[in-house]
Structure 1
């Protein structure tokens, strides 16, 4: 990741090797009907419960939100069709305008396409306007 992306993540409380207790987040997602795949757990342990102030793009990205209703938030069937795999919502990006997802394989997506093959690539692409693959 670039120095700019690292600084923004560190300012939000992230650090290399971060591992938080995700039991509450995991329970919330499971109660809503999601399968919390190992790759999703890994993402949440490292990047969960962060409120990221993206000063480069003047946006916020929030992984501390809790989804409250599977039906109201949508089952994200169209996004899963595009991705070709199951998705689990893990936050909101672009100042709350887009849902952030992690797939069963660990790829990271948003409501409009693929951000990266993994979390670090996704944060770099999101913050530094790198490669993005729209649906």
Structure 2
């Protein structure tokens, strides 16, 4: 096991098909989404190159909220460019889609600083980078983000 993630997070991600050094072509998601109005910062490209296409179907108690299934397929947000654009403008960030949380109940997004968001009629942050991914996997309640 690597020390990048907790043992539980690494086990969950490996079970979904992730492995250290994994790289996938992001054009399959980026091109159709950019054509529909989304903007993809470099952080979104890096995240999707490593984790894009993974689906975690777990549940049960987490650290501060229930663990919920999630899928890193940004095409699930097609047609939601206005929602992502409005939230991004309200917090002064570009937020690109990552996929869905809880089988479509919420969207997942990422900004240019690698902050991972729950995107709905409200916005919440799981944190940045690996920490944000850990929080998503382990069932940590995201912090509500107030628009500026």
In the alignment, structure 2 segments of 5+ residues that lack a partner are 61-65
- 2:45 maps to 1:41: yes
5+ residue gaps in structure 1? none
The separation in 2 between residues aligned to 1:128 and 1:58, in whole angstroms, is 6
CA contact (8 A) 1:60 1:96 kept: no
1-side partners of 2:109 and 2:67: how far apart? 21
Structure 1 residue corresponding to 2:12, chosen from 8, 13, 24: 8
Match of 1:88 in 2: 96
Q: Which runs of structure 1 show a deviation greater than 6 angstroms over 4 or more consecutive aligned residues?
A: none
- Cα deviation for residue 64 of structure 1 reads 2.4
Q: Is residue 67–residue 139 contact of structure 2 (8 Å, CA) maintained in 1? A: no
User: What does residue 104 of structure 1 align with?
Assistant: 112
SS in 2 for 1:114: strand
Structure 2 length-normalised TM: 0.78
Aligned to 2:71: 62
| TM-score, length basis structure 1 | 0.84
Contact 2:74 / 2:97 at 8 angstroms: preserved in 1? no
Q: Deviations over 1:63-117 (max 9, x none)?
A: 12513324xx533345224533110111001232111001022211112301111
